Structure 1
């Protein structure tokens, strides 16, 4: 039991004595304290794990491109886009997370695996997911830099090599999808700009006129459905 002791001597000017002990002070820090330390470490790395080891990065970048191409400034708000990206990430990653839970987390909670064994088993489904979405060129870039020997399977790839390669591939894929989203809206901007110039209305901002047409086009083709469908399809291998 953690104890916090304050004591003073008989003199009023004496400084207080502060002491902190774990347990009764005679036993070393146990496995429970180490488990708590490991849990705190994992929680502190949770944002990095979410962004670099799941599909969150691709989804949030593509949704950001949709908003930028529409030119609606802050509509939808950032909170809405992040919320959609989080729940889509949970939906897409649910098979992988289920494997991690069944093969690593539950056996560890039942004391059937050590921490090291649980982490190794948990990394296998995550590696499998990232490997399927990683380009060979990006993977070779980091393997050649670290002089990593050619692996026989994806399980032999070090996590320190696979994660940056996966993140690089995700950025490239997201920007490719964003470029395809931009094209139809760019055509509308060009047509509206050319029309206004031909009519001599050069002082009228083309964006003000093209914005309603872009929103109308996006609604008529059910744009959000198509974007989400494209994102879901892009993770099917």
Structure 2
């Protein structure tokens, strides 16, 4: 059930984004239904060709939908900050990429749960029950995700894409097309993530400087400072409960 729900959200996001993009605006049609049949269909002249194109389009949508979802949620900021933590510690591949990505995914689900619940309530469930059409469901699903992205998007970044596309200044959040909102939100998240990563680097950089100065004063210039500072950085990170502080800072940043 969860997989079906997530897949439906992915299709709604991608179809909504494509429908507002200028390239696809002229040919935006509802997502076609796939009807897979075994055998020949003599009643339809172009049946096999249409089915093949529908399957190809559906596979393409599913393959690129996660990329859009990554840029439309809190995942970008979380995974970048966690990567900065690992780099500042200097532990190479510890924690492994799988652990960092898994933690980022669960934190993303936790942070996005109010938005996803609202989308499920106003768009997905009415559509599955047949109360609204697909177009109405897409419009309803846009509102919660736009409000979330707008809350964490800088005005300067939003104006950059509005001016580039020549879009008139919107009166409210819902008037901003997703083709403008998504890249604006993405670069805002990148800037915020790098700012948080810089703050993470500072205490570990101080330890590296102190260790390098001590080794140079002792005449041990051939000994790599990183090798000596690594245990002290890990010790400091454990003593201050670093993972708790990092996760807490990420959660607070999305309030």
Sort the TM-score into its range (normalised by shorter chain): 0.7 to 0.9
- Match of residue 117 from structure 1: 136
| 2:62 is the counterpart of 1:43 | yes
- Match of residue 43 from structure 2: 25
Counterparts of 1:55 and 1:128 in 2: how far apart (Å)?
13
- Match of residue 17 from structure 2: none
* Structure 1 SS opposite 2:85: helix
TM-score (norm 2): 0.80
* Bigger strand share: 1
Q: CA deviation at 1:115?
A: 1.0
Match of 1:194 among 213, 222, 227: 213
Deviation track 1:140-176 (CA, whole Å, cap 9, x = no partner) reads: 0000111111111100001100000000000000000
- Match of residue 38 from structure 2: 3
Does 1 or 2 have the higher relative contact order (CA < 8 Å, sep 6+)? 2
Q: Which is worse superposed, 107-116 or 134-143?
A: 107-116
Runs of at least 5 residues in structure 1 that lack an aligned partner in the other structure: 5-19
TM-score (norm 1): 0.86
Runs of at least 5 residues in structure 2 that lack an aligned partner in the other structure: 1-35
Counterparts of 1:77 and 1:70 in 2: how far apart (Å)?
13
- Match of residue 107 from structure 1: 126
* Pair member with larger Rg: 1
* Bigger helix share: 2
Output the aligned Cα RMSD.
2.0
* Structure 2 SS opposite 1:69: helix
Counterparts of 2:43 and 2:56 in 1: how far apart (Å)?
19
Counterparts of 1:76 and 1:3 in 2: how far apart (Å)?
48
Q: Which is worse superposed, 93-102 or 43-52?
A: 43-52
